[in-house]
Amino acid sequence: MYDGVRLELSRRNLLISSAATVAATGVAGSAVAQSSGSHMDYTSKVALTVNGEHRTLDLDNRTTLLDALREHLHLTGTKKGCDHGQCGACTVLVDGKRINSCLTLAVMHEGDEVTTIEGLGQPGNLHPMQAAFVKHDGFQCGYCTPGQICSSVAVLEEIKSNIPSHVTENLNEPSQLTANEVRERMSGNICRCGAYSNILDAISEVGGINA
């Protein structure tokens, strides 16, 4: 009997303390929601140069560069594949260097120069790499192609600038433009159609190597 009463009291105390915890959590939660709704500004003005044109955007701070390009500037040449930095479909050039635009916030690029596939060249005035992809059939469905081409252009610059890769054999000597170097450096750009050998032929032609 004594044990029963004690057990009953324990249960009551437990229920009371649980209810108090839930109430406290609820109050804290709504306080956070309120303060974030009324006191914080979630948008920023971002000025950047895209394909040579000065653009100013009002963006939610959480907007990726990829979404800013596609949804706000309607430059849909840059593709969203995985949206997780794993396929390279969203590759663009920022200040001449290639990046996955899905992995970076637009607000981090205030003042930067962004080049997308549309800025590299246009029908009738193709960039040599775009022309080489056409000539060598470096695509099938074409979804990965803008990213492949932006990446390829940057790869040739990286080798020219002597930036080593994982397969660079001698770090004390200038980087060599070899098929192996190109394969390694392009490994972040996935092609589900498997156009890899033609892509390599296109890059090799522009770079001046025998694949």
Q: Which of 50, 59, 90, 120 binds ligand FES (CB under 6 A)?
A: 90
Cα 167 to Cα 181, 184, 187, distances in angstroms: 6, 7, 12
Q: Is 94 in the site for ligand FES (CB under 6 A)?
A: no
Q: Does 146 bind ligand FES (CB under 6 A)?
A: no
State the Cα–Cα distance between residues 65 and 46, nearest whole angstrom.
11
| 144 in contact with ligand FES (CB under 6 A) | yes
List the one residue from 80, 127, 136, 185 that touches ligand FES (CB under 6 A).
80
Strand partners, 114: 50, 94
Per-residue tokens: 196: 């890899």
Q: Which is nearer to ligand FES, 149 or 168 (CB)?
A: 149
- The span from the CA of 183 to the CA of 117, in Å, is 21
**Number of chain positions touching ligand FES (CB under 6 A):** 23
Residue 86 engages ligand FES in binding (rule: CB under 6 A): yes
The DSSP output letter for 211 is -
- Residue 137: HSE in the Cβ half-sphere, 13 Å Cα cutoff: 5
The tokens for 112 are: 């930067």
Tell which one of 106, 114, 195, 206 touches ligand FES (CB under 6 A): 195
14 binds ligand FES (CB under 6 A): no
Of positions 11, 97, 160, 192, contacts ligand FES by CB under 6 A: 192
The H or E element spanning position 200 is: helix 196-207
- Binds ligand FES (CB under 6 A): choice among 26, 29, 96, 142: 142
User: Given the rule CB under 6 A, which residues bind ligand FES?
Assistant: 80-83, 85-90, 100, 102, 139-145, 191-193, 195
